[in-house]
């Protein structure tokens, strides 16, 4: 394991860090745009990079089904395939198997399932998941895990967690060490602090480059999410990166950074951009609402994205109401820029020992 992580500054539990990968350095805390199927929806690779992003997320499940990991490998790997020269983290596919696949069956070997695309049969084992991610050329590989549904009885959560830990050891054994690449383990255990701590302790024994907190943002609510983070983070080793999977709204990111999380991903900013929703420094806006029809002001005067720099709210409202593709493109670019700017602001606040003040001002602006 040769990926590098350095903590440069601290403010309470929050950390300002730097992740070194085969495809460049990533400043943390960081939000990773989701490029599930080798594309961040409604964005070019150049447009994603223009927001300041230096790492994106791809997905094992989707890419193994279409166009196939072996095909991407013969075409030069995922970086070349999607024209993205910076770092890529690939999700193991476990969550998508649980949420999308048909006729799935979980066993010690892995998950057997039928594709939601064409019904073809597949086995996703820890070894195969890691192999797919190596073929893709991921800078950060994720161990295969089972995402336990919420709510579930404690006994079912514990059984699922133990299976994830056995898969984690097999994933680590299957990972091929090489310069600038690493593998993260995933902490599971539902909303139960004792299970989360047991999971973290075992993953630490196995030894990973980084540690993700999985199985959240599936209906448990923000207060519970934060409580799980608070119970889990102290059990994770220093100074490895900590990744909160699938989260979330801007306020979720701020709260999680304050509790020691370094990395995030979520489809929310891109999905919202495709449904006329925009995040701004003064709250969320629905550009389909009639109040924007005659508004000549920019979406967010403090933002330098293409949507804000060259267009009015009235124009964006027109695009959204007309169903024009450009509306989704501009709002997606804006939302990703907003998330990137939020992370930059938090990094600066941590460096200056002023994260509490930043969080208070952020909360006041959002009301």
Element (H, E) at 177: none
Distance CA 238, CA 88 (A): 23
Strand stretches in the chain, DSSP E: 4-11, 14-21, 24-28, 30-32, 55-59, 87-91, 102-107, 110-114, 121-124, 140-142, 182-187, 210-213, 242-244, 263-265, 277-280, 283-286
Query: CA 94, CA 124: separation in Å to the nearest integer?
Result: 8
What are the residues whose beta carbons fall under 8 Å from the beta carbon of 286, sequence distance 6 or more? 276, 277
Assign residue 215 a region (left: φ > 0; alpha: ψ between -120 and 50; beta: otherwise): left
Phi first, then psi, for residue 294 (nearest 5°) are -115, 20
Q: Which candidate in 209, 252, 265, 341 is catalytic?
A: 265
Find tokens 């943002």 and name the residue. Answer: 217
CA distance 313 to 328: 13
Q: How far apart are CA 84 and CA 88, in angstroms?
A: 8
Residues 231 and 317: their CA atoms lie apart, in Å, by: 44
The catalytic residue among 11, 91, 139, 300 is: 91
Label the pairing between strands 263-265 and 277-280.
unpaired
Determine whether 27 is an active site residue. no
| Whether 91 is catalytic | yes
- Residues assigned a catalytic role: 91, 265
């Amino acid at each position: 394991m040769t990926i590098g992580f350095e903590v440069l500054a601290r403010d309470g539990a929050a950390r300002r860090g730097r992740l070194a990968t085969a495809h460049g350095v990533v400043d943390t805390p960081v939000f990773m745009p989701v490029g599930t199927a080798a594309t961040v929806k409604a964005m070019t690779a150049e447009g994603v990079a223009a927001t300041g992003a230096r790492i994106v997320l791809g997905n094992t499940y989707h890419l193994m089904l279409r166009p196939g990991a072996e095909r991407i490998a013969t075409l030069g790997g995922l970086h070349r395939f999607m024209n993205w020269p910076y770092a890529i983290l690939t999700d193991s596919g476990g969550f998508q198997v649980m949420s999308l696949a048909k006729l799935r069956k979980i066993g010690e070997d892995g998950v057997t399932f039928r594709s939601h695309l064409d019904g073809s049969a597949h086995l996703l084992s820890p070894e195969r998941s890691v192999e797919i991610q190596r073929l893709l050329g991921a800078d950060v590989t994720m161990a295969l895990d089972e995402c336990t549904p919420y709510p579930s009885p404690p006994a079912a959560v514990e059984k699922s967690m133990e299976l994830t830990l056995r898969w984690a050891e097999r994933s680590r054994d299957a990972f091929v060490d090489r310069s600038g690449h690493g593998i993260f383990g995933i902490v599971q255990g539902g909303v139960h602090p004792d299970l989360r701590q047991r999971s973290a302790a075992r993953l630490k024994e196995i030894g990973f480059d980084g540690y993700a907190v999985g199985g959240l943002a599936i209906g448990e609510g923000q207060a519970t999410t934060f409580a799980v983070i608070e119970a889990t983070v102290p059990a994770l080793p220093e100074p490895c990166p900590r990744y909160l999977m699938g989260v979330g709204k801007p306020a979720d990111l701020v709260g999680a950074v304050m509790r020691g999380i370094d990395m995030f991903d979520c489809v929310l900013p891109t999905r919202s951009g495709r449904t006329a929703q925009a995040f701004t420094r003064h709250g969320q806006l629905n550009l389909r609402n009639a109040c924007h029809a005659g508004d000549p002001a920019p979406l967010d005067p403090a933002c330098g994205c293409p949507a804000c720099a060259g267009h009015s709210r009235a124009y964006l409202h027109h695009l959204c109401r007309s169903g024009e593709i450009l509306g989704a493109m501009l709002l997606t670019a804006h939302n990703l820029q907003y998330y990137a700017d939020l992370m930059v602001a938090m990094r600066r606040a941590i460096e200056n020992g002023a994260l509490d003040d930043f969080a208070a001002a952020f909360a006041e602006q959002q009301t």
